[in-house]
């Protein structure tokens, strides 16, 4: 569906979109390469469908809905162990944009990501 430019949920349905994003997050954390590899491929298609990675991960300015912003941060958090330091640096400006975010859950996830980066790349 994504390869043909079709969303896997009903356009305008926040609940379906959120459910789809949560399923992808759960699959990215799977222990089997065949599962998280397929999930990563779908995430790649989502990014391509969105036209560019920078659009998706300028998270604070791209999405209006806090739930979508939170899922985007959760995707970055789930991907962190598989990223090189230079790839982490690519996402850092978008992550830091949450320092003044009004949503406590988004700020909490931002801090979780920053603590993980500090603990693993110092």
pLDDT digits (tens, 9 = 90+) for 39-63: 777 777 766 675 544 444 444 445 5
Would you state the pLDDT for residue 3? Answer: 58
- Whose CA is closest to 21, among 96, 83, 72, 93? 72
CA angle 96, 97, 98 (to 5 degrees): 85
pLDDT at 47: 63
């Amino acid at each position: 569906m994504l390869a043909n430019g079709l969303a896997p949920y009903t356009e305008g349905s926040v609940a379906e979109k959120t459910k789809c994003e949560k399923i992808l997050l759960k699959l990215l954390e799977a222990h089997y390469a065949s599962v998280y590899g397929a999930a990563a491929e779908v995430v790649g298609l989502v990014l391509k469908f969105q036209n560019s990675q920078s659009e998706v991960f300028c998270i604070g300015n791209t999405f209006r809905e806090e739930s979508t912003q939170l899922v985007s941060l959760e995707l970055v958090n789930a991907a962190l162990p598989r990223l090189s330091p230079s790839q982490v640096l690519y996402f850092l400006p978008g992550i830091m944009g949450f320092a003044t975010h009004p949503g406590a859950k988004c700020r909490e996830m931002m801090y979780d990501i920053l603590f993980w980066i500090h603990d693993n790349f110092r």
